[in-house]
Structure 1
């Protein structure tokens, strides 16, 4: 069986697809990942075949163009309050750019099944164009059916496809305790990685550890989180682990602050007592899978929504970077209720079907 995976051209979008793609490959199926720009790194790092469907594509340039044309929506998007208005404009334009390349790859590769994430509806359009069954692979905390619907228009019009057909199923990686009951095929969240070392930080026996992670997408509204933590780190009786440090940090960091570049979250998170991060869906789910309490700083796009989801779940808190204090970080490590709730999420996620089982199920119905 040949399976085509289609992702938007962003690292955080393709990583959640990697475990299922690898499961299909382990089962002996032929797999190809169609994406562009930064997302190409992920497929190559795990040695999955990758097709660049939009050579020279720049997500940043596309985002800036949208912001200039729609300043009010852009302002709301940066504040995390635009709902689906910003994502419809931005990823509608992204998919219009991707869809010709995805269609060409589909014609060459001739897949038996197309698996696409909600913001890569170019995959669904290409599949519909050739009558190939498609599966939507959820990779965020929004309802993927809504995201696909609001972003599909430009790609549909470009290829004269009347409407998106219903997918065979939707692979659901977020537990219902977090996002509510959603129709589809449940699957265990396994953090996708792009390499790095499993022991990036010194281990000091008896010292609690807090990881601090930021977005893989640089841009307005993405900075300040690490600077806020570093500002109070000297008052915290714990080691602070900065993953991919942001610019503008002091030259002389407190003695309990350590830094590293790319780090596999599935290796790092089980070794820490808490995580402070930007609110990306992959980090939210990774922390829950590890049973780690989290402090989420709301930001642009879906990150404010995700921060609210985490706080309502009881597995973490949402607060602005300016509100972070040493006391908050101590409480994050010691709060019994947070730890118990995060542990329940870990058990719930571990009980969901492994990607190997889901690959076998999809191969049978595809």
Structure 2
């Protein structure tokens, strides 16, 4: 038996995949602790892990981040990305280190595994020297010498001009990330580390072990990934049993089903839900909408007769019955859809969403609308392409087969088990 501590920033999209890994480790007989926000305590305990709450670190509500971090209020686009990185990820890191140090002093662990925005976990590993693995729950952002820098939402060039563009952007990437150098140095200094001017990626990706959700087909087929990196497909927990279903579930029978979601972060329904519902209102299909907030089973505007709405839906029961997914491009939901061979229409606006959309479009498994706030006509055109181009469904099936072959949470648990044994 090994002792693991898993750490994830308190966002549903980050906690959920690491909970799958935690559950798989528990099944294999290991002792697992999980450091994250209080809102996830019940889910952590249900996985069999022990919850380690944010105590010194300023816990927050992912659906009301502005209450704790006022600068993120109402921000979108690139400015939002940098404020999120500086205030939420880097700014909370010294207090995360204090939490982890207190838990380490109580009982050390054999290996630490954290998502790639848990700066506190990375700094604690650097300070303590403990074995540390990164579990990448976003599109893989390990620097590469191929294609454009990750995160820009740009597909790799295919001709000399665009390949030159990619090389120029790679050269500029450190300069573009320079606004984070000062905050990272201050965080390092605050926890007693030397003020080394590392980039964000150099800080958060372990040089010892990286497990990446996704697969090579969604990584532009890059061939220069480091040898300590493995793809592990989709990190999901097995269903514990049939989930409660809404009263209208029987309406799916015999229908073409389109699942519509904006995930759990940017959840203003005017961004995507409203125009998509308008685009599909008069079609002979059923639109199943997730609001992204548990218990919020209505939208603040009338919905067409062919739409059904719920806060959260059991994907293990919904996706096998879904023909097309329209989404703002959350990585976890996108991977789950593709693992069921479902093509997508993606309106990726902020954070990692444009990158997700570009990668799916590159694979041929969907349409990138290239905006997070499309018009109804824009959504309709994307839906027509996905619905009538058989090559997209074929590409989704190829990506789905590769994702399933990577092994998921069980494979991640086996790799972490070996990592801890060799540490």
TM-score (ref. length: structure 2): 0.74
DSSP-derived class of the 2:274 partner: helix
CA distance in 2, matches of 1:40, 1:144: 30
Q: In structure 1, what is the equivalent of residue 359 of structure 2?
A: 309
Q: In structure 2, what is the equivalent of residue 209 of structure 1?
A: 257
Q: In structure 2, what is the equivalent of residue 137 of structure 1?
A: 135
CA distance in 1, matches of 2:404, 2:44: 25
Residue ranges of structure 2 left out of the alignment (5+ in a row): 144-149, 152-176, 197-202
Cα deviation, residue 347, structure 1: 0.6
Q: In structure 2, what is the equivalent of residue 89 of structure 1?
A: 86
- State the superposition RMSD in angstroms: 3.1
- Within the candidate set 255, 270, 273, 1:226 is matched to 273
- Return closer, same or farther for 1:189/1:265 CA change in 2, 3 Å cut-off: same
Cα deviation, residue 169, structure 1: 0.8
CA distance in 2, matches of 1:93, 1:341: 41
Cα deviation, residue 232, structure 1: 2.9
1:114 and 2:160 aligned: no
On the 8 A contact 2:260/2:289 being kept in 1, the answer is: yes
- Return closer, same or farther for 1:166/1:193 CA change in 2, 3 Å cut-off: same
User: Which 10-residue stretch deviates more, 207-216 or 58-67?
Assistant: 58-67
> 1:315-330, aligned counterparts within 5 Å?
315-319=365-369, 320-322=373-375, 323-326=377-380, 328-330=382-384
- Return closer, same or farther for 1:274/1:314 CA change in 2, 3 Å cut-off: same
1:61 and 2:60 aligned: no
TM-score (ref. length: structure 1): 0.85
CA distance in 2, matches of 1:270, 1:106: 43
Cα deviation, residue 123, structure 1: 1.4
On the 8 A contact 2:92/2:120 being kept in 1, the answer is: no
> 1:1-366, aligned counterparts within 5 Å?
1-40=2-41, 42-54=43-55, 57-58=59-60, 60-61=65-66, 64-67=69-72, 78-79=76-77, 81=78, 85-90=82-87, 91-144=89-142, 152-162=184-194, 166-180=206-220, 181=222, 182-183=225-226, 184-192=229-237, 197=243, 199-200=245-246, 201-218=249-266, 223-244=270-291, 248-251=299-302, 253-319=303-369, 320-322=373-375, 323-326=377-380, 328-366=382-420
Aligned residues: 356
CA distance in 2, matches of 1:179, 1:85: 23
DSSP-derived class of the 1:235 partner: coil
Per-residue deviation, residues 17-76 of structure 1 (Å, max 9, x unmatched): 1222111111100001101154445424545321112476226137743348xxxxx86x
Residue ranges of structure 1 left out of the alignment (5+ in a row): 69-73
DSSP-derived class of the 1:202 partner: helix
- Return closer, same or farther for 1:286/1:351 CA change in 2, 3 Å cut-off: same
- Return closer, same or farther for 1:45/1:362 CA change in 2, 3 Å cut-off: closer
CA distance in 2, matches of 1:327, 1:342: 19
On the 8 A contact 1:212/1:275 being kept in 2, the answer is: yes
On the 8 A contact 1:33/1:49 being kept in 2, the answer is: yes
DSSP-derived class of the 1:211 partner: strand
CA distance in 2, matches of 1:125, 1:293: 39
